Structure 1
């Protein structure tokens, strides 16, 4: 049995493409893996706070000497890191905003990328502390398209960033499913959605 951490980051509800596709994957996965458990977090509707000065002070203070105020300031982050580390696999629904990720998802990343908890710095540089055997599936929604090898690829700051930051903490097995071209007309939109749904079915079978 595996524990899946499923996170949505779109502020939209029923109109969200990334949310509907991540739900489709998780629902299909549960149908074929009924023994697995799913932990769900909705950052789009219940965002986590941004890092502030108290958080920074707490993160760089040893736990045994933190004041009650600092302990409280880092409490949510500790819970989010524990949740991340307890999961075996990750499913993230992430729309593209201004060529990158929503601020809700960036705030979450800032809460879980923690020195001494999810990464460390040693003689050989940075080292992720999350088990590298864990897998992540990231389902995105995009108004445009950014094919590799084209000039448009330079505008994709979403996938490269997510691959880098997840790899930084040790999650190196990352699969992307892009529902793109959503603002490029009905034909392009329907073709992309059909391709994304097909990729989801393949991921359920092979992930």
Structure 2
């Protein structure tokens, strides 16, 4: 079943296209993979990037949209990614990057295409665990800039994943969230002290 990739805000896409066509228009240099790209580069598969700020005692997640990420394709593969951010003046280009999350995102999206149920793909970042997941949201008509992970949504940890969490293995939010909650919950200070 094809994924229902949400459209990115037009200003976000325009900012990435401008950065790709004019390297002097942005402060940051292009990545080595973009400089060495064999042919034309195009931004594809815009994904909203949400950050999981906290999980309440009731298990409710507090997420917020922080940007849109585009895979930058050259030929038959993604060679880099471009991130945009929301500023007081609207959507603006943030930076290009490369590394393992680019290939991992592409792989996870290919994996998700084989799932029978339709999903809206998003990215969910868990900064406390240095973890990024492909978030497959079950409501394909939902506003991609809003919402929280539903219990039946799928999370696919991207590589590199934290120790003990298998990359590219889909988990229902209801199954993975308690594990992640346990990992980000601070240990009380009294348990850290050794007996005198």
Alignment TM class, shorter chain as reference: under 0.3
Higher relative CO (CA 8 A, sep ≥ 6), structure 1 or 2?
Answer: 1
What TM-score do the two structures reach when normalised by structure 2? Answer: 0.25
Structure with more of its chain in helix, by fraction: 1
